[in-house]
Every structure is written in structure tokens, then in C-alpha cells.
Amino acid sequence: MAVAEPYVAPVPGRFGKSAPRRRSGTLSFTTRFDKVALGLLGFVTLVALVGPLFAPHPPDEAVGSPFQPLLSPSFPLGTDDIGRDIFSRVLYGIQSSWFSALVVIASGVIIGGIIGLIAGSSGGWIDSVLMRITDTFLALPGPVLAIAVVAALGPGLRNTLVAVALVWWPYYARIVRGEVRALASRPHIEAARLAGAGRTRIMVKHLLPGTVGVTVVAASLDVSALILTLASLSFLGLGAPAPAPELGAMTARGLTYLLEYGWIPLVPAFAVFLLALVANLAGDGIRDLLGRR
């Protein structure tokens, strides 16, 4: 007759729960991929920060003969129709595109976050008025409005950033407002009200921290779209005037030589593609890591 094995209870972990299982191979691969994406994000940021310091030539000066091909001895990415070093101009263009996108994202998060926080925590007519203003901006076609603002203010990088920032904040206002409305019904918010906490303290101490995660994820996923938007406006001639090293403008000015000297427009266009790709992968990685935490 077989003897039944004694029952062995699972070893409790923290808070009395059983010890967690080991991560599956798929989850481990996903975690490693997310870390690689974040590593690429840090590398691109480092290149944008210190890359121009290592540029071999000034970006706006003719330092060689025109139309030098790729992998030339002194010009690894060739020269353009004037003789400027494309590698140096791309390094400066990466810095301009990357930090311009971060500036617009930061302004959109600050403006939209404040409006969404006030609307969601106040409710009533304040919420209605702020959200109707937000809906008005959302109803307008963003790129067309940005083009109109740049046309009114004049071409230039600063005016382009102002124009794009005007149409970018409503998304964050909606996101923050929705998150605040969801948090407002939580028990800890009711407990804070019963404890005598004022509206400002509840907004800053209890509601605002709860919106950080979703806002960071939305902002990280937005960087790639913003890079493409800024490059498109620059491509249309609404960025900094020539000879500023902007990737979109460099691509537009080099299209004339696409068939004969294809590296002139394709190298800056490929740089825009890489920036958008890294930003998109990093956004996915940040979303996955924050979701698992």
C-alpha cells in the first residue's frame, strides 16, 4: 500500500505571499530588449549632447570640393553641393532635432498637465470651460495650424517650436484630466478630504503624483511623432533659414541631386529615421518597464 507524501506548504515570501515564480524566457527576452532600447536612447541623447564637439569641420563652411562621395578620406559621409562636410552637419542636425523635440514635449507636458490637473480636480464649470478650450485646439488640424503660426511669425526654429507647442499640449491635458478624475474617487483622496486637506494640497500631494507614470509613458511615445513633425516643417522651409544644419531642410535642399549624388539627401533623411526609430523603441521600453513595476 502506497504511503501518501506529507503536504509541504509553500514558503511564504514578503507580505505572506508565496515565493514568485521565475520569469519565463519570453519575459526575460522582453526585459533585455527594453533595456537595449533604453540604452540606445541614452546613446542618442549623448550623441546629441556632445556630438557637435567632435564634429571634424564647421557645419556651415565649405571645407572641401563639392560632391565628395561616401567614405572619402576626410569626409566619411561625403560633401554636399557647396563642399560642406555632411557628417558634421548631421551631428549638429541631430542635436537640433532631438532637443527641439524634448523642449516641445516638456512644454506640452507642463501646460497640458497644469490645465488637466486643474480641470480634473475642480470639476463643475471650471472643468467644462477648460475642456471646451482643449477641444477647440484638438478640433483644429495640428500641422495646418502650426504652418499658419509659422507663416505669421516668420520662419525660424524658435517660431517653429512655438507653433508646434501650441498644438501639442491638448493631448496631455486630456490624459492628465482623465487620470485625475479616476484618482479623485479613490479612498485615499476621500480620506485626505475628511482629514481637512485643502484643494491645493490634494492636487499637489495626492493627485499629481498619480499622473506621473501615464504622462511619462505618453510623452516617451510621442517623441518619435514630434521628431517627424519638426522634420516635416523643416522640409517645407519653415525651420531655421539656410545654411542652418537641420535634417529636414538638408533633405529638401538635396533632392535635386537624388539621382546623381544620392547620399546628399538620403544621409540626413536616414538620420531622421534612426532618431524616430530609437525614440519609438525607447517609448515602448519605458511603457513596458513602468507597466511591470
1: its cell numbers: 500500500
Whether residue 125 lies inside any domain: the answer is: yes
Whether residue 70 lies inside any domain: the answer is: no
Whether residue 149 lies inside any domain: the answer is: yes
- Distance separating alpha carbons of residues 66 and 71, to the nearest angstrom: 14
Whether residue 251 lies inside any domain: the answer is: yes
Note down the domain range covering 150. 33-44+85-292
- Distance separating alpha carbons of residues 205 and 219, to the nearest angstrom: 22
Looking at the 3D structure of the chain, how many domains does it have?
1
Buried b (16+ CB within 10 A) or exposed e, 250-289: bbbbbeebeeebebbbbbbbebbeebbebbbbbbbbbbbb
Whether residue 174 lies inside any domain: the answer is: yes
Residue 37 CB neighbours (<10 A) = 22
Helix then strand count (H, E) for the chain reads: 10, 0
Whether residue 134 lies inside any domain: the answer is: yes
CA distance to 38, 149, 178, 189, 249, per residue, from 215 (Å): 18, 27, 11, 20, 31
- Read off the CATH number of the domain in which 283 is found: 1.10.3720.10
pLDDT tens-place values along the chain, 293 residues long: 444 444 444 444 443 444 444 454 555 667 777 788 888 889 999 999 998 898 898 888 888 888 988 888 888 998 988 989 999 999 999 999 999 999 999 999 999 999 998 988 887 888 899 999 998 888 877 778 778 887 787 777 888 888 888 888 998 999 999 888 888 777 777 777 777 666 777 777 778 888 888 888 888 888 888 999 888 888 888 877 777 888 988 999 889 888 888 899 999 999 999 999 998 888 888 887 776 65
43: its cell numbers: 546613446
Whether residue 254 lies inside any domain: the answer is: yes
Look at residues 279, 255, 259 and name the one whose alpha carbon lies nearest to residue 269. 255
pLDDT at 25: 53
Whether residue 71 lies inside any domain: the answer is: no
